[in-house]
Structure 1
Amino acid sequence: MLDAMSSGAGEAEVRPHSIGEWRDYGEPELPVPLAAALAAFAEQGYHGTSVREIASRANLSVPGLYHHYPSKQSLLQGLLERTMTDLLSRSERAIAEAGDRPVDQFDAVVESLLRFHMYRREQAFVGSTEIRSLDDSYRQTYIGHRDRQQHMVDEVVFAGVEAGVFSTRYPKDASRAVATMCVGVSTWFKLDGELGADELISRNLQLARALVGYRTDVGSG
């Protein structure tokens, strides 16, 4: 999988990020084979998808597909690695740009998680449902990425409790509840639905603040 990922096949150009860019989403910048695999996995699941079908969706021959990704497993791993790299990068930038106040960092990381799971629904869905399909050699890496994302939320919540801004007696549980709420958006939100993205974010920020016991008398200062 690492060979396939480092082969240069469709690697995104590394460039500096502008302020607030973590909020910006266009179409996923995936190499054609990974885009084809994503569509197939989201529709039919990993085990229900054949390499031949992915090649057909990508307008490649099977040998042509194998030139870039030597197995179906390498396609899944390559897709999930890109998914988590994008999510982690956006969350890190959101927190870094939020300033020093725990409540602002909390709002930023929650918004980042919500936006990702709204605008990258298929990738988030495949990541959640196909962890069982990952080879042992990569599964721990993927779990490490997920743990790193959770730790970002944990650290902000614990900082808020320490500062007296959050009053929850169960910061670890509250942090996980917040993250689970954000991840769950990918299972039902539709960009063309009645509830717009900004309204969903506003509502869920209120819910997230309630989960950690945000104290307006302290946090407004």
Structure 2
Amino acid sequence: MAAALDAFVEFGYHGANTRDIARRCGLSVPGLYYHYATKQDMLVAILDYVMTDILARSRAAIADGRSPAERFALLVECQTLFHAARRDLGFIGSSELRSLEEANVGSNRRLRRESKQLFDNEVTAGIASGEFRCDDPKAASRAVVGLCTGLPLWFRTDGPQSPREVAAQYAGFALQLVGYTGSSSKLLRALKIGEAPFER
């Protein structure tokens, strides 16, 4: 799967070919087909892995929060760290969804809805608790998701910011988007947002 990921990042799904992928992982083409019957199967495996991993990490992050605002900030940190520290996976997860054949779209779309729902739940709960003031919670939640998933399009590991620095910055942006009524900087310090290393 790592060889296919590298090829998809370098050439795009449609530009990559199975012979090159087989060479990258030291297999013959028939040997590669033993593991994955088609190039589409490789893409499905990568995209499903991306969403399954993000969901598991996101649920673990939320479990550490005691309030909607805490859970929301931790969720943003988690997804930002993933898309920055695992940039190639995040990039393919965002850019090659369009390359899925119709028969393979449903499962990945369901996982994406589950991920988006995690944000929706905390924004709705935050409004109910008075921690957030937001006229359009669905739009705010969608904008925050877009911030996180758009990171691989520009983030570089050799750039001026580390994944942790971006995570802290984006958590602050996200709290502003949902109209957090408390002190964002105080909340981020209390949660140590941007201090935890990304565990691969």
For the criterion TM > 0.5, the same-fold answer is: yes
Alignment match, 1:67: 34
Q: Which residue of 2 aligns with 1:113?
A: 79
Aligned residue in 2 for 1:122: 88
Which residue number in structure 2 is paired with residue 43 of structure 1? Answer: 10
Query: Which residue identity is paired with 2:46?
Result: L
Equivalent residue in structure 1 for 2:126, among 153, 160, 177: 160
CA-atom RMSD, angstroms?
1.4
Moved more, 114-123 or 124-133: 124-133
The equivalent position to 1:90 in structure 2, one of 44, 57, 77, is 57
Please report how far the alpha carbon of residue 95 of structure 1 lies from its aligned counterpart in structure 2 after TM superposition.
0.4
What is the CA-CA distance between 1:130 and the residue it aligns to?
A: 1.3
Q: What code does the residue aligned with 2:59 have?
A: E
Tell me whether 1:81 sits opposite 2:21 in the alignment: no
Letter of the 2:141 partner, please give it.
S
Deviations 1:169-205 (A, max 9, x none): 1111101111101111111112222112222222211
Q: Tell me, yes or no, if structure 1 residue 148 matches structure 2 residue 110.
A: no
Partner of 1:216: 182
Q: Distance in 1 between matches of 2:77 and 2:115?
A: 13
Matched with 2:195 is none
- SS at structure 2 position matched to 1:216: coil
* Unpaired segments ≥5 residues, structure 2: 188-200
Which amino acid in 2 is paired with 1:156?
E
- Alignment of 1:131 with 2:131, yes or no, is no
Could you list the per-position Cα deviations for residues 118-149 of structure 1 after superposition, in whole angstroms to 9, with x for gaps in the alignment?
Answer: 01111111121111211212111111111110
Partner of 2:164: 198
Contiguous gaps of at least 5 residues in structure 1: 1-33
Letter in 2 for 1:213: G
Runs of 4+ in 1 over 4 A off after TM superposition: none
CA distance in 2, matches of 1:198, 1:79: 24
Q: CA deviation at 1:86?
A: 0.6
Measure the CA separation in 2 of the matches of 1:112 and 1:191. 17
1:178 to 2:178 alignment: no
Partner residue, 1:58 = 25
3-state SS of paired residue (2:169): helix
What percentage of residue pairs aligned between the two structures are identical? 42
